[in-house]
Each structure stands twice: as structure tokens, then as C-alpha cells.
Amino acid sequence: MREPDDRSKLRRMADQCALVVADLADFTYDRFLSEKVLYDATVMRLLTIGEDANNLTEATRELAPTVPWHQIRGMRNVIAHDYFELRPDEIWRTAIEVLPVFRSELIRLVELVPERRSKPGS
């Protein structure tokens, strides 16, 4: 199976951001903490966002120098390798404050990144 191109990864990241924001729209922080399945789903979506961010080409990341790519990838690493060290308040803040802005930037980037062209015969 062929690796998704950067445009596909950016779209997928934007979709994950939108899902988190929609899932948490009617939640308070306390309710978020009490809903373990929602908390875990949010963390999993952040992990997939970080995984795709990690696999973007450097050229694509350079198109958005204000995006904290290092921190996004760092959060992914904490989720994957130090899950029990996660701070729920950071997960909440990221989901509520950071993801809506980040999603807008991802949508902008999709338009800047060229589509990968298929090779003849593939």
C-alpha cells in the first residue's frame, strides 16, 4: 500500500481536529475528565495527528513556520511512550484552544501543497 501524500495527511489531520472539537463542544473540563471513553478517544486522535505531523515532509512543514511542529510531534511521543505521564489539563487545553486554530492552518496548507501525481501504469 502506498504511503499517503502530504495533502492526504493534512486533510486527515484537519478531520481529526474537527472531530475532537465537535466531540467536546458541549463539555466542561470536569465532565471531560469524568468521561473516560471520550478522554481516551481525544488522546487517540491527538496521537494520530502527531503521527501524521511526524510523517510530513520537511518542505511541507516549512510552509507553516509558525505551527509548533516540534511540540505536536512531542505530544505524540508522550502519548505513545509515556501515556501515564499525560496531563489531562494539557490535553483539554490543546483540544479546546489549539486544535481549532491548528485546523484552520491545516486547511490553508492543503491548498499550498501540490497533489502527488500518479505514475503512468500505477
Query: Could you tell me if 76 and 46 are in contact, meaning their C-beta atoms sit under 8 angstroms apart?
Result: yes
Q: Give the separation between CA 51 and CA 8, rounded to whole angstroms.
A: 13
Produce one character per residue of 81-112: b if its CB has 16 or more CB atoms within 10 Å, e if not. Answer: eeeeeeeeeebbebbbebbeebbebbeebbee
Query: Of 71, 21, 22, 26, which Cα lies nearest the Cα of 50?
Result: 71
Question: In a structure prediction context, what are the per-residue pLDDT tens digits for the chain, which is 122 residues long?
Answer: 567 899 999 999 999 999 999 999 999 999 999 999 999 999 999 999 999 999 999 999 999 999 999 999 999 999 999 988 999 999 999 999 999 999 999 999 999 998 775 444 44
Domain boundaries, the chain: 6-109
Per the confidence metrics, is the pTM higher than 0.85? yes
